[in-house]
C-alpha cells in the first residue's frame, strides 16, 4: 500500500530495492488490466448470442449491476452505510420519464446525461448535509430523505403519475439508428455499452489517489483527518459521483422498460441493491457483477415458484452471507482458489477438527436442542390452525402436535449443530473491533 513509502522495508524484501520503489511499482501494477477481468464481459457477450430471447431480462441484470456498482463506490470503498440509495435511481428514472412524458424529449443519450446531472445535483445537496453524520443518524437521514422524495412524488401524482406511474413512454432510436425491438436486443447492447463505459470510469476512480483516499477514510477517518485530507469534501464528491451513476442506471431502467412508477424510490429497492452488493462482495470492482447476476437469476427462478419462498430466500442468503461469507461470492471464490493452488492457510483460517467433544460443546448442543424445541413449538403453534391442511395430520392434532413439533425442531437443530461442529470448533463470526 501507499503507506509503505515511509515505513522501513519489511524483512525478506529483495535487497537493493527501496520501499519507495516497490510501492511505486505496486501502484503502477495495481490498475493494470488482468486477464481474469475479461471474464464477466465475455460472459455478457456470450449471453447475447446464447439466450437471444431472454435479453429483456438480461438488460435488467446489467442495469442492476450498474446500480450496485454505484453503491459499491460509496459503501464498499468509502464505507458510507446508506439505506436510501434508491433515491438517486428513482431521480434518474423520473428525470427521463418526466422529460419524455411532459416535454416529449425522447432522445435517449441526452436523457441519460440529464438524469446523471439531476441525480448528481440531488446527491451533492443531500450529501453535503448528510455526510457530516454517521452511525444510526446517517442511516435514518438517508432513509428519511429517500422516503421524503418518494412522498413528494406521491403528493404531486398529477405530475408523476403516482403509483400508477407514467405508462407508454416512447424513446427515439439510439443515435437515431438502433430502434428498440420486441426481444430487447438493442436494450441489451445499449445497457452493456453504458455499463462498460461507466465501469471503466469507476475503475479509474477507484485506482486513483482519490480512490485511495476513500479507502483510507473507510479504514480510519481519524488518521485521514490527521494527514490533512479534506474528508468531508472527498465523501461528498464520491457520493455525488455515485448518485450520478445510480441516476444513469435509473434512466436506463425507464428507457428499457418504457414505463416508470414510484416503486423505484422504495426502501425495498435500496435494500435489494445492498443485498446484491453484499452477496457479490463489497469493496471490490466485480462484486456488483457477481452479486447482481446471481441475485437476479435466483429471483427470476425462485419467485416464479413462489414469491414467499423467494423472500425467505433473500433473508437466508443475507444471514448466511453475513455469518459465513462476509467477503461475498468473490471472497469465497478467492478462498477456494487459495486451497486449489496450494496456498492453503494464507487466507483461510484452518479448520481444526475437535478430537473429543468438550463439556462446553455438549452443553451448547443441549441449549441448541432446547432452542430447536422452542422454534418447533412456535411453528407448530402457528401452523396448528391456519394452514393445517398443508401438513401431516398428526402434526396438527392438538395434544400430540406440541410434542411432535418440539421434537422435530430439536432434532433439526441438533443435526445442524453436529454437522457444524464436525467441521469447525470456532465461532462463526469473529467480531471486528470498531
Does 420 bind other proteins (CB under 8 A)? Our answer is: no
Does 404 bind other proteins (CB under 8 A)? Our answer is: no
> Residue 156 or residue 347: which is nearer to other proteins going by CB?
156
Does 278 bind other proteins (CB under 8 A)? Our answer is: yes
Which are the contacts of 245, defined by CB distance < 8 A and separation ≥ 6? 66, 69, 70, 73, 116, 198, 202
Give me the half-sphere count of Cα atoms (radius 13 Å) on the Cβ side of residue 119: 35
> Residue 343 or residue 426: which is nearer to other proteins going by CB?
426
Find the part of the chain contacting other proteins (CB under 8 A) among 5-13, 148-156, 199-207, 250-258.
Answer: 148-156
How many chain residues interact with other proteins (CB under 8 A)?
Answer: 59
Does 51 bind other proteins (CB under 8 A)? Our answer is: no
Residues making up the chain, counted from first to last: 434
Does 434 bind other proteins (CB under 8 A)? Our answer is: yes
Does 427 bind other proteins (CB under 8 A)? Our answer is: yes
Give SS3 for 162: helix
Show contacts with other proteins in window 288-347 (CB under 8 A).
Answer: 308-309, 311-312, 314-319, 321-323, 326
Which are the contacts of 36, defined by CB distance < 8 A and separation ≥ 6? none
Does 110 bind other proteins (CB under 8 A)? Our answer is: no
* Rounded alpha-carbon distances, angstroms, from residue 28 to 12, 22, 33, 219, 323: 22, 10, 11, 22, 36
Interface pick for other proteins out of 64, 83, 122, 252 (rule CB under 8 A): 83
Q: Work out how close the CB of 294 gets to other proteins at its nearest, in angstroms, rounded to a whole number.
A: 16
Does 271 bind other proteins (CB under 8 A)? Our answer is: yes
Rounded Cα gap, residues 181 and 173, in angstroms: 10
DSSP 177-244: TB---TT-HHHHHHHHHHHHHHHHHHHHHHHSHHHHHHHHHHH-HHHHHHTT--HHHHHHHHHHHHHH
Does 400 bind other proteins (CB under 8 A)? Our answer is: no
Residues near other proteins, by CB under 8 A: 75, 81, 83, 129, 133, 135-137, 139-141, 143-145, 147-148, 151-152, 154-155, 157, 267, 271, 274-275, 278, 308-309, 311-312, 314-319, 321-323, 326, 367, 371, 374-375, 378, 381-387, 427-429, 431-434
Amino acid at each position: 500500500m501507499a503507506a509503505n513509502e515511509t515505513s522501513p522495508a519489511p524483512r525478506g524484501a529483495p535487497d537493493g530495492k527501496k520501499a519507495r520503489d516497490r510501492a511505486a511499482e505496486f501502484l503502477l501494477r495495481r490498475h493494470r488490466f488482468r486477464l481474469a477481468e475479461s471474464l464477466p464481459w465475455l460472459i455478457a457477450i456470450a449471453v447475447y448470442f446464447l439466450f437471444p430471447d431472454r435479453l429483456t431480462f438480461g438488460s435488467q441484470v446489467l442495469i442492476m449491476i450498474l446500480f450496485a456498482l454505484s453503491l459499491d463506490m460509496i459503501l464498499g470503498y468509502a464505507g458510507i452505510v446508506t439505506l436510501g440509495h434508491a433515491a438517486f435511481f428513482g431521480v434518474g428514472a423520473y428525470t427521463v420519464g418526466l422529460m419524455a412524458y411532459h416535454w416529449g424529449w425522447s432522445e435517449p443519450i441526452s436523457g441519460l446525461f440529464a438524469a446523471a446531472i439531476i441525480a448528481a445535483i440531488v446527491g451533492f445537496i443531500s450529501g453535503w448535509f448528510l455526510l457530516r453524520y454517521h452511525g444510526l443518524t446517517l442511516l435514518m437521514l438517508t432513509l428519511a430523505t429517500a422516503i421524503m422524495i418518494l412522498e413528494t412524488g406521491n403528493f404531486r401524482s398529477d405530475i408523476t403519475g403516482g403509483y400508477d406511474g407514467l405508462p407508454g413512454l416512447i424513446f427515439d432510436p439510439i443515435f437515431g439508428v438502433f430502434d428498440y425491438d420486441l426481444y430487447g436486443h438493442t436494450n441489451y447492447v445499449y445497457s452493456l455499452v453504458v455499463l462498460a463505459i461507466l465501469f471503466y470510469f469507476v475503475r479509474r476512480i477507484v485506482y486513483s489517489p482519490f480512490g485511495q483516499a476513500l479507502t483510507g477514510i473507510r479504514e480510519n477517518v481519524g488518521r485521514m483527518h490527521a494527514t490533512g485530507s479534506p474528508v468531508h469534501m472527498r465523501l461528498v464528491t464520491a457520493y455525488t459521483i455515485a448518485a450520478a451513476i445510480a441516476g444513469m442506471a435509473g434512466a436506463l431502467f425507464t428507457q428499457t422498460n418504457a414505463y416508470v412508477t414510484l416503486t423505484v424510490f422504495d426502501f425495498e429497492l435500496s435494500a435489494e441493491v445492498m443485498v446484491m452488493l453484499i452477496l457479490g462482495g463489497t469493496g471490490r470492482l466485480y462484486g456488483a457483477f457477481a452479486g447482481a447476476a446471481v441475485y437476479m437469476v435466483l429471483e427470476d427462478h425462485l419467485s416464479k415458484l413462489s414469491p414467499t419462498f423467494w423472500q425467505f430466500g433473500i433473508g437466508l442468503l443475507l444471514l448466511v452471507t453475513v455469518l459465513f461469507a462476509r467477503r461475498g461470492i468473490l471472497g469465497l471464490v478467492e478462498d477456494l482458489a487459495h486451497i486449489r493452488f496450494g496456498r492453503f492457510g494464507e487466507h483461510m483460517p484452518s479448520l481444526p477438527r475437535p478430537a473429543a467433544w468438550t463439556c462446553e460443546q455438549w452443553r451448547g448442543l443441549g441449549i441448541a436442542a432446547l432452542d430447536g424445541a422452542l422454534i418447533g413449538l412456535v411453528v407448530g403453534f402457528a401452523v396448528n390452525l391456519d394452514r393445517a391442511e398443508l401438513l401431516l395430520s398428526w402434526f396438527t392434532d392438538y395434544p400430540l402436535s406440541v410434542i411432535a413439533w418440539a421434537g422435530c425442531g430439536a432434532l433439526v437443530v441438533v443435526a445442524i449443530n453436529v454437522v457444524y461442529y464436525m467441521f469447525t470448533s470456532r465461532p462463526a463470526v469473529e467480531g471486528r473491533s470498531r
